[in-house]
Structure 1
Amino acid sequence: MNAQKAGALLSKVREVNPLVHNITNIVVANFTANGLLALGASPVMADAKQEAAEMAAMAGVLVLNIGTLTERTVESMILAGKSANKHGVPVVLDPVAAGATELRTRSAKQILEEVKVAVVRGNAAEIANAAGQKWAIKGVDSGEAEGDLEELAIHAAKKLNTVVAVTGETDYISDGKQVLKVSNGHSILTKVTGTGCLVTSVVGAFLAVEKNPVSAAAAALAVYGTAAELAAEKTADQGPGSFQVEFLNQLFLVTEEQVTLRARIEKVGL
């Protein structure tokens, strides 16, 4: 995976307009839907257990996010996940705040045990706790991580038997055999609620058009980070409100050529 391929995958997402089935949290549902629409994907938010399996079967990808989980939504996630597995639809999991409470940690592990997940995307604390490691976490957001994120990505990928994307100032994606590093993005992303949840759904959109989950995740993170950089440049000295609006604009406006020029993807480790 390189910058040119990431740009080409952006164009493919827009060409295919994949249906992204999100079972996500109530805080970010609107932002996630708008972000996917801006990018060029087609979002659907369907968490009723009566239709979750049916919707997952017809989607291009299923994205599960435990941000505001309840027993009902976890049940819907597992029903949808099993249906996705049955119908060859890839699944992405965002273990929001795993490790913060026993319910969150247990739910993330239950989903991973009962559903075959193609990519797990989270910050360092979330990934570590989902993989059974102790890592401090406060609420649903985490500050700067301390530790070797490259090693964490490798360990978690092996432990969970899936592709893991550990995101932060620098992103690391691993399947336990290879590691890609993505260095795009901007710190103001942390000042807008839902940017982490949206990036998980963007990974899903790319996974719907690219079978290799490592390549899909790396391309998604590079495109997302490039759009954030462009938005930050246009709203410098304004604040997160202006950035949020411009970020949606840039997800819509960012071009294959801009991604090819700006994406910073490299193979590291292993």
Structure 2
Amino acid sequence: MELLQEIAATFAAIKANTPLVHHLTNYVTANDSANITLACGASPVMAADPGEATDMVAKAGALVLNIGTLNAAAVDTMIATGRRAGDLGVPIILDPVGAGATPARTDAAGRIVRETSPAVIRGNAAEIKTVAGLSAAIRGVDSAADEPGGEAVAAGLARRLGCVVALTGRTDIVAGAGRVCRIANGHPWLARVTGTGCMATSLIGCCLGAGASPYAAAVTGLVVMGVAGELAHRSLGPEDGIGTFRVKLFDAVFNLTPELLVSHAKISETRED
């Protein structure tokens, strides 16, 4: 199946199947992650209590792990829930928010990778470089800038871990399964709204929950976010700012169709021999 067909089929499957996506995520962006999940046609749940999280994941189609608001108890819950997901065959997407900013974040991301075997890891260039064991420039939980060599780092990490790596920036890169996709969709205002990276992670989780392969899920989720950002900005009036843009972003995802998504996708792909 051609990649554009995979994207269309994956997005249609979300709306057809309404997968339950379990989030263990950060409190800054939890509401936005829940709403973007609903907007694309899936169903979110945020059961973070240690006594409930491992039971809830048994009902889910995918598990989102996001370390944005880090604490030791939350990481332990993520690992226990991730192990349970692995036993059940529930795919995991990890968002190593701020990995590299502090030793605690770097260690937490490393533990989760080692102990839960995520199907997809999504992060900015600095976070992905940190997970790969390389030095990176990071400020707080934000990458200082897009960094060179991202495609090689993503592809190398994907091969080493046997997973899909989604690196987001001016051009998004998805590497895994002997394939590399470059996604040129998006708008600079996406970087001016808190949580758009977390929302992209949730969208990938929705695609995983709908049964897509990790590679197709990562590509589709990032194309959805990029296209929605373009459409949201295009619909703004002259006096609208980032608050209206944020609301328009949800509207754009809600109103997307597989056909509209494919018609706006700006992707290129290479495959390993």
After TM superposition, is the score higher than 0.5?
yes
Any idea what the Cα deviations from partners look like across 1:226-253, whole Å, max 9, x if unmatched? 1111101001542211100000111101
Is contact 2:20-2:42 (8 Å) kept? yes
Kindly provide the amino acid, as one letter, of the partner of residue 231 in structure 2.
L
Worse overlay, 44-53 or 235-244: 235-244
Q: Distance in 1 between matches of 2:270 and 2:142?
A: 27
Unaligned segments of structure 2, at least 5 residues: none
Structure 1 position 111, deviation (Å):
0.6
The equivalent residue for 1:107 is: 108
Q: 1:203 to 1:135 in 2, by over 3 A?
A: same
Matches within 5 A, 1:90-169: 90-169=91-170
Kindly provide the amino acid, as one letter, of the partner of residue 64 in structure 1.
L
Identity score, percent: 44
Is contact 2:62-2:206 (8 Å) kept? yes
- From 249, 252, 269, the equivalent of 2:251 is 249
Matches within 5 A, 1:50-69: 50-69=51-70
Is contact 1:2-1:266 (8 Å) kept? no
**Correspondence 1:87 to 2:88:** yes
Q: 1:3 to 1:177 in 2, by over 3 A?
A: closer
Q: Distance in 1 between matches of 2:267 and 2:152?
A: 18
Worse overlay, 63-72 or 140-149: 140-149
Is contact 2:236-2:244 (8 Å) kept? yes
Unaligned segments of structure 1, at least 5 residues: none
TM-score normalised to structure 2 length: 0.95
Kindly provide the amino acid, as one letter, of the partner of residue 217 in structure 1.
A
TM-score normalised to structure 1 length: 0.96
Structure 1 position 219, deviation (Å):
1.3
**Correspondence 1:264 to 2:273:** no
Is contact 1:3-1:259 (8 Å) kept? no
Is contact 2:98-2:127 (8 Å) kept? yes
Q: Distance in 2 between matches of 1:92 and 1:23?
A: 11
Kindly provide the amino acid, as one letter, of the partner of residue 252 in structure 2.
Q
Structure 1 position 160, deviation (Å):
2.8
Is contact 1:153-1:165 (8 Å) kept? yes
Task: Extract structure 1 runs of 4+ deviating beyond 4 A.
Answer: none
Is contact 1:24-1:65 (8 Å) kept? yes
Any idea what the Cα deviations from partners look like across 1:98-154, whole Å, max 9, x if unmatched? 000000000000011111110000000001101111111001112431212211111
Is contact 1:62-1:91 (8 Å) kept? yes
Structure 1 position 176, deviation (Å):
6.4
SS in 2 for 1:25: coil
Is contact 1:3-1:261 (8 Å) kept? no
Is contact 2:10-2:212 (8 Å) kept? no
Task: State the Cα RMSD in Å.
Answer: 1.3
Q: Distance in 1 between matches of 2:161 and 2:138?
A: 20
Q: Distance in 2 between matches of 1:59 and 1:96?
A: 23
SS in 2 for 1:51: helix
